[in-house]
Chain A
């Protein structure tokens, strides 16, 4: 008996010692794929393109960060953020958005490039393959055009991220990047569907690619091409202005006929905090200059119109005022707004909150309102601007701008304007129509008016100075590349003036 026990123990020990199955050490991740078991089926390919869209939410395209850049325009003010940039105190090291903007767009670019390099390995429907690639081209163009808007030329990388090959690439010229953006947009437009249905709505469409192309060309001042591109979008006859300017920005009307491309949000998984930002934090607060820039209902400015009553300054104004701005003494969230409620400037942004004027609502902390990147009114205004610059204020220019005004409930613009007068009218219209849509900051820089409008004091509703602003024309039309980015890749040359 004892001997059997001995033998048993010896066997157990020696077995363990000499011949133990090494498969014991094989473990596999049960919640993540890896390259060995990826790019194998259609579902994976679809999820890969979805992962590219994910970066849009990250803050630098459709999130709160772009939105907050309104605070570096004469439209609004943030007492807690964007201060360095608004007051001209920024350096290549003291504003982290300089780094975040760069990195998050390259994050999207890296994902798109990875997808484009690998998707042809996947056995899948050829049409879907083409569409996904086209979506990827659109997104890559969006990311690169966004980078150019802030930094001008950036390293142009079109392959899967590779540390050795891409880590030390210098900047390409602005033209090279823009050229690639346009190539990508043409590829995208040729393969993308005009519309989607059901749970595909929100993906890049043919119209989105064409609309973005319009914007890129416009921002490059390639006027006639831009006008043509805008016309192409208009001629698709796929978009129209949504009847009401306020309702256009409410969650129940997401994806309406005016929306060309938006960044999608969904509570609770992928929510944004715009409601909280605007109603509680007051991180984007309208300034007096902006509120005063709303015309009277008769189409003239408050300085010109007999309708203006300094005792009731917010009466008889462009209806978009009360659809955009919360004004003390008026109804919002089911009550009359008090003077102290909007503590930052006295005004609040209504646009992009989800509250109603006449419904009592407690604070909403998470919102799923989509952030519109491109919409039809913008196309009309871009057409007007491009056409006016290219060939002067012809009838089509009036037509485009009046469409936008008439939806807002404003009279047509005075006929017979010169190109220069028309330019001012269009600029005003863009400011009012597209406020808080992450466009105006680019507008004042490409129009080269930032050195005027940003070298001023920001005033609250009572006319008190809340911020002393400064803009250095020699440097501030472009952002600096963050010093840490250059430290990581010394081949990058800093923008002038920094």
Chain B
């Protein structure tokens, strides 16, 4: 029996780990630069050695340390004990091996995975490497696969208690000679080792299970990648597995459930991604959106096909984000798209069909008599004549004609369940010299609102060539095309019209196309804006296309210095076409008496807007391991980016009917407009990593950014960061603590910038759109309309972060804790300027500072009990926002009822600034004995607190009364797998946030609108004094006694929501194989299925600072779909 020796077995890491992690996280960059074929790598990797009187075996070991190579040989065939002298510079591994084995009759077989088989010439006569292992005695063979069924190359198979063994080939096949009492050990780094007794089996197939995946994960960082264990910054990452576990209608949803990210997905309008993404709270009053980079290029999440996402990294602290300098203050989201792998052609199909319905629709009083009664009561309480006579009310009580006496449910008329479908195809694969991945997506989504829909087509092509061992280049070309329709007034307006409409207004369209008008007059509601007519007549079509071409090249210089250059163009074109029709309302009692709906003439408005962003960046990267323990990695880069936009719009009237809807079909009153603008960034950046023995980690980052948004002498900013980590578990004293497999303490400090303000803000601009006409001739006019501060500069965020990562029981249980202190200074804000100063908008100036302090805790647990596998994860983030400095000033935000929110030292930003409600007045005596509010205040009205005790309720009694930024955001997810079944659930919640709803629906009979059933049943009357709501009164057109901005209407908007629930089933391989498929999975899914919230005016997941309710409603989506892989 010939025995084989496994070289350097305990340190059998490097390449194998990388391979494994690729399976797990599939990093683009890794794929580009690491998963190089062995030939390429072996040619590209140059080694330098100076060894004297060393054993060959030791030299081989050194090579393994310095490179990704592993050696495999049989001691019987190869003499590795021989001592040699070696002095080589910049030689390939093969050249070195030839020197090492000079005189020995050996050959070197460099295999796929950088495994180099060293064997005698006669042993390889079979012509391929398999014959090498097959030579052995009585063979046991088998195939090793991972849990997804993919063959695993490089798995070590040894006979327990011996050094005999082999490794699996590219197809995961092994063959080993053994006897029946032998126990085979199957091991692979990152996977659980398995022991199988041979017995009388001659075929043993093994599925390897992952272990400790978190530790070995590679995550994308700015301009590179890093092993997760070596991170010193605060980064949350998710991989494709997490993303693929649910169907998504847009890419923003992929961020939901990621530790430290707050995703507020507003509304379910097809094709509109109105999500707000916040990382570590609100850092500014300007743009709080994080920087989103797709494959390194600034991009728009809406245009990313969720199926193309391979991984997402969220850079939260300054240490990880400062390499993006002036745009990184709100955090950075790095998205890596899928690339091909060296494998056979693979085709994946992914389709789902679904139905959507609104999560929340206001439950309005649709009985006209009830509405009329309550509206009369409001006028009566104001001391005004009632709008509806008893006669009119009685007519509705007895009338049956739906046009004359309607009881219309307007929300029911405008909203209904709507279908959607989504189809994806991906083709991927590759050889040693080229890998490719191409995908196509088609989405067709009808909206729950009448006449809203969207279609999306997208493609992504990612091809990487490796023509030589030093050079590789590739291109990612992606494009998306959206075609959306909605009302000419826009969906929000239709929503507003529906919220404003009354049951007494008929929903009827006559044969001649005219709509029935309301017969009765409602004060505040002089004109009936028919919601159905506005939703369905006329048109608004929006087509957008985005194309990104991203070329990259890497060249490896001597000394292993990698030079990479990236050039990308991101082109966006949008076309919007609106046809405003003439739609007539007729009086039911007098059909000839018609009037037009709305105030706008029949016209066409067309807008074309374009943008083109170009990015050019290049990096030099050098890494070196010195004396075995010192790892050094240096990165230096330079980038130039420019962002150009332009738009053009045209308007025309004079259409002869509603039939022709092009600009050319109009005849009079043309109007055109258009402009263009540009901004630029030029940056130098770099990073230095040093680690000692993988125990002590140190990192320094910087970016030096020049931005065209500021005046010349304020243009350049320097954003440094420094971070350190201590992997305590690597210390000798921890080696006996078996339960802790990972323990790392991280500390970081750094600075980031935010330059995201409107262009040319530093200039005293002359607005030249202030024209007028004289004698019906239009003449140009100009004026200064805003003050400006020439000295403005970027906002600076300084973040200190302390983190702790713990992995227990082979990472079955993982914890991550981050505590951060983010201080933003020089926040750009527009100063309140008294109107007497020319009624100018205040200057934008570096005004105030605020802090966001908080913590993020993430925990996950994964385990398998026999065939039952489960994962549990939970995240919670706490942010305490505080305005630290405002120079004693107070900045007010007002609505039509006065102050509503405030920026004030010592309070969270945009805190609600309100009167305090003390409940409802119950008696006349109580009104008289309280501070004076309004001459008309009566029992049943809201009682406000006289804070300054001057006997009068006025603006001086307003105080900070609630917060508009959430305190806690949290999520948790559950995943279960059992015998092909998988069940996944994702919950998301927000705690500690207040919302101030007002306007139609939130307030009863507001400005001539209707009333909800809830309010109708709960308002104060002398008979119903224990009521939830005040007596009926007029909130806008009248005294407004009960519409002062007060805590009475402030609502707790906390919620917990089951964002996603999915049940899937993967067919057994035998079944899928019958149609030559490697995997077939079917699933059903529900989005936004359950919501728990005290807030019931609208869906709680909404734009908090937008106080009215006119968002397109959020939707529940139920889908069924399948994934098939060929």
Closest to A276 in B: B599
The reply on A348 being an interface residue by CB < 8 A is no
Closest to A112 in B: B838
Residues of A within 8 A of B582 (CB): 362
A487 to B781, CA, bound (A): 32
Picked from B521, B682, B1038, the residue with its CB within 8 Å of the CB of A87 is B1038
Q: Do residues B835 and A99 form an inter-chain contact, with CB atoms below 8 A?
A: yes
Contact with A along B728-765 (1 / 0, CB 8 A): 00000000000000000000000000000001100111
Picked from B759, B770, B787, B1037, the residue with its CB within 8 Å of the CB of A50 is B770
Q: Do residues B715 and A109 form an inter-chain contact, with CB atoms below 8 A?
A: no
Complex interface residues of chain A between 179 and 231 (CB less than 8 A to chain B):
198-203
A183 to B773, CA, bound (A): 28
Stretch of B131-139, B423-431, B590-598 at the chain-chain interface? B590-598
Closest to A457 in B: B385
The reply on B675 being an interface residue by CB < 8 A is yes
The reply on B1092 being an interface residue by CB < 8 A is no
Stretch of A125-133, A263-271, A304-312 at the chain-chain interface? A263-271
The reply on B707 being an interface residue by CB < 8 A is yes
Closest Cβ–Cβ distance, residue A317 to chain B (whole Å): 26
Closest Cβ–Cβ distance, residue B92 to chain A (whole Å): 15
Picked from B526, B596, B684, the residue with its CB within 8 Å of the CB of A363 is B596
Residues of A within 8 A of B1038 (CB): 83-84, 87, 89
Q: Do residues A87 and B384 form an inter-chain contact, with CB atoms below 8 A?
A: yes
Picked from B618, B653, B760, the residue with its CB within 8 Å of the CB of A34 is B760
Closest Cβ–Cβ distance, residue A272 to chain B (whole Å): 11
Q: Do residues A80 and B587 form an inter-chain contact, with CB atoms below 8 A?
A: no
Q: Do residues B715 and A25 form an inter-chain contact, with CB atoms below 8 A?
A: yes
Residues of B within 8 A of A48 (CB): 781-783
Complex interface residues of chain A between 432 and 488 (CB less than 8 A to chain B):
464-468, 483-488
Closest Cβ–Cβ distance, residue A334 to chain B (whole Å): 12
Interface centre among B384, B684, B763, B775 (most CB of A within 10 A): B775
Q: Do residues B526 and A282 form an inter-chain contact, with CB atoms below 8 A?
A: yes
Q: Do residues B772 and A30 form an inter-chain contact, with CB atoms below 8 A?
A: no
Complex interface residues of chain B between 807 and 864 (CB less than 8 A to chain A):
831-840, 842-843
Known contacts A51-B782, A80-B526, A487-B892; decide if A264 and B773 are in contact (CB<8 Å).
Answer: yes
The reply on A301 being an interface residue by CB < 8 A is no
Q: Do residues B955 and A166 form an inter-chain contact, with CB atoms below 8 A?
A: no
The reply on B868 being an interface residue by CB < 8 A is no
The reply on B199 being an interface residue by CB < 8 A is no
Q: Do residues B834 and A110 form an inter-chain contact, with CB atoms below 8 A?
A: no
A126 to B525, CA, bound (A): 54
Q: Do residues B385 and A106 form an inter-chain contact, with CB atoms below 8 A?
A: no
Stretch of A335-343, A379-387, A388-396 at the chain-chain interface? A335-343
The reply on B383 being an interface residue by CB < 8 A is yes
Closest Cβ–Cβ distance, residue A146 to chain B (whole Å): 14
Q: Do residues B771 and A270 form an inter-chain contact, with CB atoms below 8 A?
A: yes
A344 to B524, CA, bound (A): 11
The reply on B557 being an interface residue by CB < 8 A is yes
A488 to B484, CA, bound (A): 44
The reply on B600 being an interface residue by CB < 8 A is yes
Contact with B along A69-102 (1 / 0, CB 8 A): 0000000000111011001110111101001001
Closest Cβ–Cβ distance, residue B96 to chain A (whole Å): 21
Picked from B620, B771, B835, the residue with its CB within 8 Å of the CB of A13 is B620
The reply on A238 being an interface residue by CB < 8 A is no
Q: Do residues A33 and B765 form an inter-chain contact, with CB atoms below 8 A?
A: yes
The reply on A161 being an interface residue by CB < 8 A is yes
Residues of B within 8 A of A17 (CB): 636, 638, 684
Picked from A6, A33, A79, A266, the residue with its CB within 8 Å of the CB of B526 is A79
Stretch of B45-53, B237-245, B893-901, B1050-1058 at the chain-chain interface? B893-901
The reply on A65 being an interface residue by CB < 8 A is no
Closest Cβ–Cβ distance, residue B931 to chain A (whole Å): 14
The reply on B102 being an interface residue by CB < 8 A is no
Interface centre among B519, B774, B896, B955 (most CB of A within 10 A): B774
Picked from B678, B679, B783, B894, the residue with its CB within 8 Å of the CB of A51 is B783
Closest to B592 in A: A335
Stretch of A52-60, A404-412, A423-431 at the chain-chain interface? A52-60
Q: Do residues B678 and A89 form an inter-chain contact, with CB atoms below 8 A?
A: no
Closest to B387 in A: A79
The reply on B589 being an interface residue by CB < 8 A is yes
Residues of A within 8 A of B651 (CB): 268
Known contacts A13-B618, A268-B669; decide if A91 and B835 are in contact (CB<8 Å).
Answer: no
Q: Do residues B595 and A483 form an inter-chain contact, with CB atoms below 8 A?
A: no
Known contacts A93-B955, A99-B835; decide if A32 and B765 are in contact (CB<8 Å).
Answer: yes
Residues of B within 8 A of A160 (CB): 838
A313 to B53, CA, bound (A): 128
The reply on B954 being an interface residue by CB < 8 A is yes
Known contacts A9-B563, A80-B1037; decide if A47 and B835 are in contact (CB<8 Å).
Answer: no
Residues of B within 8 A of A44 (CB): 782
A53 to B523, CA, bound (A): 35
Closest Cβ–Cβ distance, residue B505 to chain A (whole Å): 14
Residues of B within 8 A of A38 (CB): 766, 782
A52 to B779, CA, bound (A): 12
Q: Do residues B782 and A484 form an inter-chain contact, with CB atoms below 8 A?
A: no
Q: Do residues A365 and B771 form an inter-chain contact, with CB atoms below 8 A?
A: no
Residues of A within 8 A of B54 (CB): none
A27 to B783, CA, bound (A): 22
Q: Do residues A106 and B838 form an inter-chain contact, with CB atoms below 8 A?
A: yes
Closest Cβ–Cβ distance, residue A249 to chain B (whole Å): 16
Residues of A within 8 A of B600 (CB): 365
A111 to B786, CA, bound (A): 11
Closest Cβ–Cβ distance, residue A420 to chain B (whole Å): 35
Complex interface residues of chain B between 251 and 269 (CB less than 8 A to chain A):
none
Q: Do residues A270 and B837 form an inter-chain contact, with CB atoms below 8 A?
A: no
Closest to A202 in B: B774
Q: Do residues A33 and B768 form an inter-chain contact, with CB atoms below 8 A?
A: yes
The reply on A41 being an interface residue by CB < 8 A is no
Q: Do residues A29 and B899 form an inter-chain contact, with CB atoms below 8 A?
A: no
Q: Do residues B780 and A468 form an inter-chain contact, with CB atoms below 8 A?
A: no
The reply on B101 being an interface residue by CB < 8 A is no
Residues of B within 8 A of A16 (CB): 618, 638, 640
Q: Do residues B526 and A283 form an inter-chain contact, with CB atoms below 8 A?
A: yes
Q: Do residues A264 and B772 form an inter-chain contact, with CB atoms below 8 A?
A: yes
A50 to B640, CA, bound (A): 42
The reply on B767 being an interface residue by CB < 8 A is yes
Q: Do residues A344 and B682 form an inter-chain contact, with CB atoms below 8 A?
A: no
The reply on A255 being an interface residue by CB < 8 A is yes
The reply on B784 being an interface residue by CB < 8 A is yes
Complex interface residues of chain B between 652 and 671 (CB less than 8 A to chain A):
653, 669, 671
Residues of B within 8 A of A282 (CB): 526
Closest to A489 in B: B834
Closest to B898 in A: A93
Complex interface residues of chain A between 244 and 301 (CB less than 8 A to chain B):
254-255, 264-270, 273, 276, 279-283
Q: Do residues B836 and A24 form an inter-chain contact, with CB atoms below 8 A?
A: no
Contact with B along A148-166 (1 / 0, CB 8 A): 0000001101001111001
Picked from A27, A89, A109, A200, the residue with its CB within 8 Å of the CB of B775 is A200
The reply on B228 being an interface residue by CB < 8 A is no
Q: Which 5 A-B pairs have the closest CB atoms?
A: A110-B838, A161-B838, A50-B781, A107-B839, A51-B783
User: What are 9 pairs between A and B in contact, CB < 8 Å?
Assistant: A25-B715, A27-B678, A33-B768, A54-B781, A110-B784, A157-B836, A362-B582, A483-B898, A485-B834
Residue numbers of B with Cβ under 8 A of A are 382-385, 519, 521, 523-527, 555, 557, 563, 582, 587, 589-590, 593, 595-596, 598-601, 618, 620, 636, 638, 640, 651, 653, 669, 671, 675-682, 684, 706-708, 715, 759-760, 763-768, 770-784, 787, 831-840, 842-843, 892, 894, 896-899, 934-936, 954-955, 1007-1008, 1034, 1037-1040, 1044
Further contacts, 18 of them, CB under 8 A, given A33-B765, A35-B763: A24-B640, A31-B676, A36-B763, A38-B766, A46-B779, A51-B782, A79-B523, A83-B523, A93-B897, A102-B836, A110-B840, A167-B833, A268-B601, A280-B596, A340-B590, A468-B384, A484-B955, A489-B836
